[in-house]
Structure 1
Amino acid sequence: MARFTFRLPDIGEGIAEAEIVAWHVKVGERVEEDQQVADMMTDKATVEMESPVSGVVVALAGEVGDQVAIGSALMVVETDDAGEDTPVEAETPGVEEGVEPSPLPAREGPGVGGERSEPPAPEAKPTPSASAPTPDPSLAGRGEERILASPAVRARAADLGVDLAQVKPAEGDRIRHADLDAYLRYGSGQGYHAPHASRARDDQPIKVIGMRRRIAENMAASKRAIPHFTYVDELDVTALEAMRGDLNAHRGQRPKLTMLPFLIVALCRALPGFPMLNARYDDEAGVVTRHGRVHLGMATQTDAGLMVPVIRDAQDRNVWQLAAEITRLAEAARIGKAKSEELSGSTLTVTSLGPLGGIATTPVINRPEVAIIGPNKIVERPVFRGDEVVRAKLMNLSISCDHRVVDGWDAASFVQAVKKLVETPVLLFAD
Structure 2
Amino acid sequence: MARYVFKLPDIGEGIAEAEIVAWHVAVGQRVEEDQGVADMMTDKATVEMESPVSGIVVELAGEVGEQVPIGAALMVIETETIAEDTAEEVDAASQASPRIDAPDVADRQGRLEPTPIVAQAAETPPTTGRGISKSTEAAPQEAASGSDAPPLASPAVRARAIDLGIDLSLLRTEGRRVRHADLDAYLRYRAEQGYHSPHASHRRPDEAIKVIGMRRRIAENMAASKRAIPHFTYVDEIDVTALEAVRSDLNETRGDRPKLTMLPLLIAAICKTIPAYPMINARYDDDAGVVTRHGRVHLGMATQTDAGLTVPVIRDAQDRNVWQLAAEILRLAQAARASKLKPDEMGGGTLTITSLGPLGGIATTPVINRPEVAIIGPNKIVERPVFAGKEIVRAKLMNLSISCDHRVVDGWDAASFVQALKRFIETPVLLFAD
**Same fold at TM > 0.5:** yes
Offset at residue 86 of structure 1 (A)? 2.0
Contact in 2 for aligned 1:359/1:396 (Cα 8 Å): yes
Q: Deviations over 1:215-242 (max 9, x none)?
A: 0000000000000000000000001101
- Asked if the contact 2:35/2:51 (under 8 Å) is kept, the reply is yes
CA contact (8 A) 1:31 1:57 kept: yes
Q: Tell me: CA distance 1:94–1:242, structure 2 relative to 1, closer, same or farther (3 Å).
A: farther
Unaligned runs of 5+ in 1: 107-154, 162-195
**Distance change (3 Å), C-alpha of 1:46 and 1:102:** farther
Query: In structure 2, which of residues 319, 328, 331 is the aligned counterpart of residue 328 of structure 1?
Result: 331
Unpaired stretches in structure 2, ≥5 consecutive residues: 113-154, 162-198
Please tell me the residue identity of whatever aligns with 2:3: R
User: Which residue does the alignment assign to 1:40?
Assistant: 40
In structure 2, the partner of 1:67 is: 67
Give runs of aligned pairs for residues 10-409 of structure 1, distance below 5 A. 10-81=10-81, 86-88=91-93, 91-93=96-98, 95-97=100-102, 99-100=104-105, 103=108, 199-409=202-412
Paired residues of 1:240 and 1:422 also in contact (CA < 8 A): yes
User: Residue type of the partner of 2:401?
Assistant: S
SS at match of 1:421: helix
Q: Which residue of 1 aligns with 2:180?
A: none
Give the root-mean-square deviation of aligned CA atoms: 2.2
Number of corresponding residues: 348
* Distance (whole Å) between structure 2 residues aligned to residue 236 and residue 416 of structure 1: 12
Amino acid at match of 1:33: E
Counterparts in 2 of 1:91 and 1:320: CA distance versus 1, 3 Å: farther
Distance (Å, rounded) in 1 between the aligned partners of 2:23 and 2:418: 47
Cα displacement (A) at 1:81? 1.4
Distance 1:32 1:213, change over 3 A: same
Shift of 1:29: 1.0
Cα contact 1:63–1:102 (8 A) shared by 2: no
Instruction: Classify 1:365/1:98 alpha carbon distance in 2 versus 1 (closer, same or farther; 3 Å).
Output: closer
Q: Distance in 2 between matches of 1:6 and 1:73?
A: 6
**Cα distance in 2 for residues equivalent to 1:400 and 1:357:** 17
AA in 1 matched with 2:249: D
CA drift at 1:199: 1.6
CA distance in 1, matches of 2:305, 2:263: 18
> Helix, strand or coil for the counterpart of 2:243?
helix
Contact 1:45 1:343 in 2 (8 A): yes
- TM-score, normalised relative to structure 2: 0.77
Q: Distance in 2 between matches of 1:98 and 1:348?
A: 43
- Distance change >3 Å, CA 405–CA 8, structure 1 → 2: same
Q: Alpha-carbon deviations, 1:333-387, whole Å to 9, x = none?
A: 0001110000000000000001111010000000000000000011000000001
Secondary structure of 1:373's match? strand
Cα separation, 2, equivalents of 1:427 and 1:61? 58
Are residues 346 and 5 of structure 1, via their aligned partners in 2, closer, same or farther at CA, if it must alter by over 3 Å? same
- Report the TM-score, using the length of structure 1 for normalisation: 0.77
CA distance in 1, matches of 2:333, 2:20: 24
Deviation per CA, 1:147-204: give whole Å up to 9, x if none: xxxxxxxx99x9899xxxxxxxxxxxxxxxxxxxxxxxxxxxxxxxxxx995211111
Shift of 1:92: 3.5
CA distance in 2, matches of 1:350, 1:160: 42
Residue 270 of structure 2 aligns to a residue in which SS?
helix
SS of 1:203 mapped into structure 2: coil
Distance across 2 between alignment mates of 1:346 and 1:235: 26
TM-fit CA distance, 1:91: 4.4
Corresponding position of 2:123: none
Q: Helix, strand or coil for the counterpart of 2:355?
A: coil
In structure 2, give the amino acid aligned to 1:355. Answer: P
Q: Which has the higher helix share?
A: 2
**SS of residue matched to 2:238:** strand
Aligned residues of 2:3 and 2:94 also touching (Cα < 8 A): no
